[in-house]
A = this chain, B = another copy of it.
Amino acid sequence: MTETAVRFLAEIQVSLKPTVNDPEGTTIAGALGNLGFDTVQSVRAGRYFQVMLEASDAVTAEEHVKQMCERLLANPVIETYSFKVTALEPA
């Protein structure tokens, strides 16, 4: 870490590509229907990560988070991801 490192919070959403079957989402949609939420049309289930990291600036932080998604957090064959990086305070 250099002295100018800033702390960032990355909020990452990983979801299945639209063409991939999502039995978990289908099950949840059915359960919501059984609970009386009959206006629900469909549910897609995915994962959510909050990653706290240090970086010199927001562009660097976003680049690191993108690599994390590509290499570990998402499976690029069947999943898509999106994220938002927010600066918290100087680390």
Q: Which residue of B lies closest to A31 (CB)?
A: B72
Binding site of A, secondary structure by majority: helix, strand, loop or mixed? Answer: strand
The minimal Cβ–Cβ distance linking A52 to chain B, given in whole angstroms, is 4
- A56→B37 CA distance, assembly (Å): 14
Could you say which interface size class chain A belongs to? 35 or more
Give the number of times this chain occurs in the complex, counting copies.
2
B-contacting residues, A37-79, CB 8 Å: 37, 39-55, 64, 67-68, 71-73
A1-42 vs B, Cβ < 8 Å mask (1 yes, 0 no): 100010100010111000000000100100110010101111
Residue of B31, B46, B51 near A50 (CB, 8 A) is: B46
Instruction: State whether B49 touches A64 (Cβ < 8 A).
Output: no
